[in-house]
A and B are shown apart, each in its own frame.
Chain A
Amino acid sequence: QVQLVESGGGSVRSGGSLRLSCAASAFTFTDYYLGWIRQSPEKGLEWVAYISKTGSRFYYEDSLKDRFTISRDNSKNSLYLQMNSLRVEDTAVYYCVRDADVAGPQFDPDYWGQGTLVIVSS
């Protein structure tokens, strides 16, 4: 069945960087938009970014686009999130999600990974 497995989380000091990865399997990777959603007790669920099938178009939550970069490697069935200048408020579980590929401009998450925890300390 469809699997999305995140990795790369961990603890980092404020101002540091992390690169999250998401390994996908059991579906045709290039047929789907993919994205990152994060969740923290303070802010709840927040959209982070999503990327088109070819990787040529990106959409970011406005407050994050100057620090975070989403990318994908279709040859490796992998999705990435480069996070720079991390802040304490970026502390969250980061989920890799797949779009349901339904007609329309929106992103409908269907499958979610188990998540990877990012902790940013001051």
Chain B
Amino acid sequence: QTVVTQEPSLTVSPGGTVTLTCASNTGPVTSDYYPNWFQQKPGQPPTSLIFGTSNRHSWTPARFSGSLLGDKAALTLSRVQPEDEADYFCLLYYGRRHVFGPGTKVTVL
């Protein structure tokens, strides 16, 4: 069974930097998994942030960046703002199958 894992929760101070990761139980996450990242605020649908590991959508603020970090996909939030408090989900591609991670709750405090 394919399992994608993320940190359950992270806390960051306003103006700070936080990195979220996305791992696969099948092995190292590479660009062939085409990692995507999404943000979801309470009561709203997810919003797409990053596709293809590190590509921002036209609406994605530059303070959000995607990368590969060791064996994982990563989303780094820089210069964090209060409105970045949300749940963040990753999505990995496994040859026709697409599997979401359980999400990371980011608290800005």
A contact patch SS: loop
Count of residues in B whose CB is under 8 Å from the partner chain: 22
> Is B45's CB under 8 angstroms from A44's CB?
no
Cβ contacts under 8 Å, A112 to chain B: 45-48
- A82–B38 CA distance with the chains assembled, in angstroms: 26
- A95–B47 CA distance with the chains assembled, in angstroms: 12
> Is A100's CB under 8 angstroms from B51's CB?
yes
> Which of B13-21, B22-30, B75-83, B95-103 lies on the face that meets chain A?
B95-103
> Is A106's CB under 8 angstroms from B45's CB?
no
Cβ contacts under 8 Å, A105 to chain B: 93, 95-96
> Is A45's CB under 8 angstroms from B46's CB?
yes
Task: Bits for B26-70, please: 1 = Cβ < 8 Å to A, else 0.
Answer: 000000001010100000011110011001010000000000000
Cβ contacts under 8 Å, B103 to chain A: 44-45
> Which of A47, A107, A110, A113 touches B45 (beta carbons < 8 Å)?
A113
